Structure 1
């Protein structure tokens, strides 16, 4: 890491003093000065940390992110006033293909089924992902010299181009009229209404190689939008996430914050971060997914289809409490009391109405159970038939055992309270 210039260190020390005195205006102004010098300041339990600014927009904290997916204006650390610019490389909801299922371009992931010996069936190779990226990100073609079909800025002296443009224009009108005859507008609206929009939400807190494989499998094997929140660029995972945004600009949207995750000594908790992802989302169905989970096929569509009648959420793995309520046991496929956070889909409006994710949860363990118990309606688990696998145990690697046990118990006490409430 580059050596921090003395003037930047001085700015950070003045900012720490301003924060201690609750002078939020001065703190925000000094943070911006530090950013202008090419550095980011990250608050830690011991004070602060300075890191070089990455080549993408970074928001100061999770709480500074807006709701509803708007990246036009940010909020500062404390006052809620606009203060951050639009993140580069992002796309709006209107530009994103959010329906679940498959299309011809996304189905390029099927070429990865012939994996090398010794690798997991269905594992994506770099070449396969590149093919997906090329088909997914290819720009729309327009006639040369034309912004609108049938027009040109340089037709004088080129009658063949004028004739060609006119033919293209006439052909496009014919196709348009044919489409209007075959598919009435009312039918199109019915089809749209029958296919809910879907977003897969990822919380990024390290393990860049795992993140890359997870996202590429999602792009290759589903049509769902991918929305990711990077906490502190741990081990360069935020940089990899931005590479994925550039590789799949119509499918992946990323938000970056300077806060590092709580389990790494930072201030960004699991519950607050997951809740912000839910509120950044604008889709009908919000899919919670861990980056350790890799799709071997389209595992998203079955989950979305399961959200029928009074089913509020559907997941890969479900659990039920033992009679004494002190332990949770893995459940068979079907109706369950709780869903594990590896992979599950929930109706977004219902999740918001239930209060969203428990914002004061700092570590993931037992937080999925707390969220599940707050949801109304029926929860179902699809089980082993879902085309998905997990290469490692979730997030326990690198976590201090004492911290893990303390935070897990802290959340589980609330879980017991919910379980025993009438």
Structure 2
């Protein structure tokens, strides 16, 4: 009895340790399997998915997910220290139905990874020719992430035998599928939206239009909920930011100091700060997610004076011409580089992400005007 309780406690610990650290966001079942893909979303910070599995099996069939039906994230540093909000796109074959090889993007700097299931540099158990893995089925399917125990599953179909046997968290679309269909979690406004023990079509969607490849899920009547959740994941955390400013006697140099933002793995230089100044104290706009800005340009009525490319730097010296009035400053924390695939301002959930609601702000001391004496 004691051994049984110990084993149950161990399984409970495993579930708590890995539960929903990464979820299946969507998958596309194409008529030609070379056009099928799976999209995963990292939901916790500094995540290590080395030796995790992602696999598929027919929901109508019997048996559990096993290595022959899955690929394994290779035990290399690339799959360690993943940032919250990172999107992992996995094509099920190395080429599409036109025999064009898929582009590989293994830079984590912008929070987007694009690979294929036969890419042995990052996956184990991924034969290039024979016995291909991730053989997605149109009528019924389930994609499962697991590491010792299932971490998250997304499926579709009307026979739920396998889905019922797999541990939570999981969600299923209760419809028989067909070729060229996208199955997605939607609305997906919170992490809880990726888990549902009762199969339905409320938390999921099956569609042949509006394919959201590498982007948030949407459907008619709910266009923005999943995007808001992705933005929340991708933006850095900055708890109670403070900014102190000291000014030299000639009022030509302001030294800004702040408490650093939360960064669980600062050595990868994924996070930094954007510093703005205003002579009026009016900041009419905030930085927009997905856009990387250039020093000297404006955001609304404010001017960008610096971009600092490390989260651990907590001060900045701003030299300027002497002014009688105050200078107002804002410091925004950001995460990720510019979108390396599509360029700047492609989409709010790709590329750089800013914490637009929790930022440091303050102002310099004003210089007293020099009295002018008139002699008559």
Same fold (TM over 0.5): no
When you count strand as a share of all residues, which structure comes out higher?
2
Place the TM-score, normalised by the shorter chain, in its bin.
under 0.3
